[in-house]
Structure 1
Amino acid sequence: MSNPRCIMPEGPGNFKVSASEGQVVRALGGIASATLLSRLLGFVRDMVVARAFGAGPITDAFFVAFRIPNILRRLLAEGALSTAMIPVFTDYMARDDRPELHRMLRAVLGLSLLALTVTTVLGILGAPYILQAIAPGFMNDPAQASLAVSLTRIMFPYLLLVGLAAMATGVLNSQGRFFASAIGPAVLNVGMIAAVLLLARSLDPPIVSLAIGVLVGGVGQLVVQLPSLSACGLLLTPSRDLRHPAIARITRLLLPAVFGLAAVQLMVFVNTLLASLLPLGSISYLYYADRVMEFPLGVFGIALASASLPVMSRHAAAQDHGALAGTLSFALRLAFYVSVPATVGLVVLRTPIVRVLFERGRFGPAETAATAEALTWYAVGLAGFAGS
């Protein structure tokens, strides 16, 4: 018998799709609360990093190294994989064939584990070449380049951890359980904060503590979701059935999702590449500005997408195209109504916001001015990011 707190239909004829706007709003509240906690902890993390390390060549090396697995995470794991998996998983739920649902999940888990492991190993081995492609300006400073390569190799296994966590997120969101998956990024921030406070003084260079914190946080992002998966009876082991028909369906959905997200990640790649050719600290200024811009985007935009996709997937499984279009229209309107005022606020208050958040320790007025300038231009694109 399925857990009553999980969404498992009693039979094919009883799989009902309710009016969607209320579902989206209710789910949005829980996700936004967890995301708000995560973003607040993220600001605490950035305050700790700014105070301890400021904005210079060392932080530039870390942010580039962290960005490499993060680009792949957003492109393949959290973004595209969840987007492609939720509709297929929802369709299998609608069939009321729990053994087949388990076979599908085990097959997808097995293939994902294999792909993520291979990508992680290749990333560790090819770190110098990846760094040369994404931050060619570092090649002018061998010490900075060497540090960035070392940090990249330490943090690349985070891709494997967060990829598995993204799979768990997709499953739990399809089950209508949003909080456990949404709280995962908060665990990452706690891991990074704790690592800096506890390890920075005992490591050389101290910035390595942040890389260790990323791995600890990645483990936490996965582990925090396991109890919810177990409660739904979906804590499964991977299989080697790479020919399951669901894999082909997910692959077909995955490719357009990857191409769609690639446009955004290409912008991140180009920003990093160009900033590596600018004066020291430029990558750090862009990072801190992006963190401020992502606060409203994460609390509302990403939360809205996470809440609405499972609802739209259930409409699609029920062939209710009118309700599907209505849910999409409602989500886009809601994103617009919130993101436009947020854009105005970020542009008008850019300098006070950056000063209050980061100006302490090694982060001074010059760093505040440069970060605020970058924030102005990031904020202009907020509405577009929220709607996408």
Structure 2
Amino acid sequence: MGAPAAAAPVRMARALWISAATMASRVLGLVRDQLFAALVGANVFSDAYIAAFRIPNLLRDLFAEGALSAAFVPTFADYQRNRGQGEAFRLANLVLGLIVVVVGALTLVGVLLAPQVVALVAPGFSEQWELTVLLTRIMMPFLLLVSLSAAVMGMLNAQSRFTAPAIAPALFNVGSIAVGLGLWAAGAGPVKAVVGWSAGTLLGGLLQLLAQWPSLRATGFRFRPRLAGARREPGVRRIGRLMAAAVVGLSATQVNIVVNTIFASHQRGAVSWLNFAFRLMQFPLGVFGVAIATVAGAGVAQKAAARDLPAVKDTLGSALRMVAFLNVPSAVGLMVLAEPIIALIYQHGRFGAADTAATAQALLFYAIGLYAYSGVKVFAPAFYALDEARVPVLGSFLGMAANVALNVTLYPVLGFRGVALGTSLAATVNFAVLVVAWRRRHGGLGGAGIGPQLARVLLASAALAGTAWGAHAWLAGALRWHGLARQLALAFVPIAAAAAVYLVAARLLGVRELSDFAGAVRRRRGRPPVRA
């Protein structure tokens, strides 16, 4: 009893527009990573930068783009719907004032205690320890910049202004690329490269914040941060309560990352291999999963504020079907073509063939969890919007427990590959908990069944896998070219052939989201962009 495609609760056209904007950012992110790999390689210097950046980045994921977004967006949407824009903007200024004070203090603590933090996160580091401490101190202010950016992003998304938040991360990458090109032109060695790159990270964080400001001002908002009355404001108390639950829940994810880094720090280059692989896995996660979760999350927040549970269920069902349609074939493609994709993107400069092989092995195991990662991003905000924060907290903690147990079990056998596999299986545990809890509390989801659609997508993805493997094997034996031309052919020809076969198979199997996708592309051509 599914609704017609044109009436899908998560509008494919809007998600497609955000995916396009996010793809631009992700492509720039790959260019950024490619330049970093060529400048530095995969060694103790790259390990030092990645571990140092992970410290403020973990706090960003935990407090800013994690707990704050999950708590702030539904509260702001509720204020705007039920109290008016003026009250919503007053709440936002209270939140911004608290961010400046609290996150500013946390940033200062991070600078002062950098040696202790590095010793905790990367106990296996020895020769790169001092460099990691220095880079950590340089990049800690990044946390304040992205915390403010996350609050601005939440305000814009809650008002259905998606373009500027989707484009803003691209500016982060632009700043880093500009600095990286300067370092390349100057012939910087690995140490100077990572120090300069850390400064470029701060520049990118500032650009990410500034890129969203014109769109926010266009809504009528004026930045007047304040603290007076914050403790008595019901919205602030609600945000604090939801953030406390979200921090507890999301801390499990961050603990997973810390645990992974602790294990990987004992193997030279492993921190870098895992990071490059995870970044590639995040490409489809960001382009498709995050775009769908952004649109679905805003819709769920608005419908939850209106107490319309059937509409919430329709939105989630539509979002999960889109996630399967787009991210399952992406995961399969990454697993089959991991090595030629990594060779094309990273194997330049100081990044060698051995690094490509190791990163490809990590990517294969990370890609296993791509659907679960995307599903969690769609499902978890729905529980927060419905004020059922204990469910995602439980899911995160069970995922964390699974990750720790799997790392302890798999690392002695598989090394860094066991870290990647454990991460994927832990994400699957988290997603399974959310699915089971939703069914017990609220029943099924709106629209056509998730299970039958997923089965059809898996069949179409099997056809994709066979095509990709066959095309690559034939080209590898037939091509007599060398260098970049060979890398391009070995990556893009199998990708194009596999994508075509997947679309044909999806059509033959009756995957409805294919029609939604095609219709959205046609409508997008004749439509003005989504509001900035």
TM-score by length of 1: 0.91
1:308-323 equivalences under 5 Å are: 308-323=296-311
Separation in 1, partners of 2:171, 2:87: 33
Partner in structure 2 of residue 275 of structure 1 = 264
| Aligned length in residues | 366
The whole-number CA distance in structure 2 between the counterparts of 1:77 and 1:309 is: 16
1:102 Cα offset (Å): 2.5
Partners of 2:7 and 2:307 in 1: CA distance = 14
In the alignment, the residues of structure 1 paired with residue 112 and residue 84 of structure 2 have an alpha-carbon distance, to the nearest angstrom, of 42
SS of residue paired to 1:55: coil
What is the correspondence of 1:200-239 to structure 2 with a 5 Å cutoff? 201=186, 205-239=192-226
1:255 aligns with 2:241: no
CA distance in 1, matches of 2:27, 2:206: 20
Which residue of the partner structure matches residue 120 of structure 1? 107
Aligned to 1:289: 277
How much does 1:175 deviate?
0.9
Q: Distance in 2 between matches of 1:227 and 1:191?
A: 19
Could you say if the C-alpha distance between residues 130 and 368 of structure 1 is closer, same or farther in structure 2, counting changes exceeding 3 Å?
same
Q: 2:337 aligns to what?
A: 349
- Matched residues in 2 for 1:115 and 1:72: separation? 13
Name the % identity: 45
Task: Give the match for residue 138 of structure 2.
Answer: 154
Q: Which string of whole-angstrom CA distances, capped at 9 and with x for unpartnered residues, describes residues 91-116 of structure 1?
A: 11112533322221111111122111
Instruction: Write the mapping of 1:21-60 to structure 2, written as runs, cut at 5 A.
Output: 21-60=8-47
Aligned to 1:190: 174
Q: CA deviation at 1:269?
A: 1.1
- Matched with 1:378 is 366
Alpha-carbon offset, residue 343 of structure 1: 1.4
TM-score (norm 2): 0.67
Match of 2:433 in 1: none
SS of 1:206 mapped into structure 2: helix
SS at match of 2:192: coil
Match of 1:3 in 2: none
* 1:234 Cα offset (Å): 1.3
In structure 1, the gaps of 5 or more residues are 1-18
| Mapped partners of 1:24, 1:247: distance in 2 | 31
Most deviating of 108-117 and 218-227: 108-117
* 1:170 alignment partner in structure 2: 154
Cα distance, 1:325 vs structure 2: 1.3
Among residues 350, 356, 374, which one is paired with 1:368 in the alignment? 356
Question: d(CA) in 2 for partners of 1:331 and 1:254?
Answer: 24
Q: Which moved more, 1:254-263 or 1:237-246?
A: 254-263
CA drift of 1:334 comes to 1.6
Comparing 21-30 with 231-240, which one deviates more in the overlay?
A: 21-30
Q: 1:381 to 1:159 in 2, by over 3 A?
A: same
The offset of 1:369, in angstroms, is 0.5
Which is worse superposed, 157-166 or 356-365?
Answer: 356-365
Deviation at 1:29, TM superposition (A): 1.9
Say which is worse superposed, 20-29 or 57-66, in terms of deviation: 20-29
Which amino acid in structure 2 is aligned with residue 240 of structure 1?
A: L
CA distance in 2, matches of 1:269, 1:88: 30
Q: Which residue of 2 aligns with 1:328?
A: 316
* Equivalent runs, 1:79-158 vs 2, <5 Å: 79-138=66-125, 140-141=126-127, 144-158=128-142
Tell me the amino acid that sits aligned with residue 304 of structure 2.
A
**Contact 1:20/1:327, CA 8 A, preserved across alignment:** no
The 3 A distance-change label for structure 1 pair 216 and 305 is same
Q: CA shift at 1:67, angstroms?
A: 0.7
SS in 1 for 2:8: helix
Give the RMSD, CA atoms, in angstroms: 1.6
Rg larger in structure: 2
Question: What is the CA–CA distance in structure 2 between the aligned matches of 1:168 and 1:20, rounded to whole Å?
Answer: 30
Q: Does structure 1 retain, via aligned residues, the 8 Å contact 2:49–2:132?
A: yes
Runs of 4+ displaced beyond 4 Å:
none
Q: Specify the SS of the correspondent of 1:137.
A: coil
After superposition, what is the alpha-carbon deviation per residue over 1:111-138, rounded to whole angstroms, capped at 9, x for unaligned? 1221110110111111111100000011
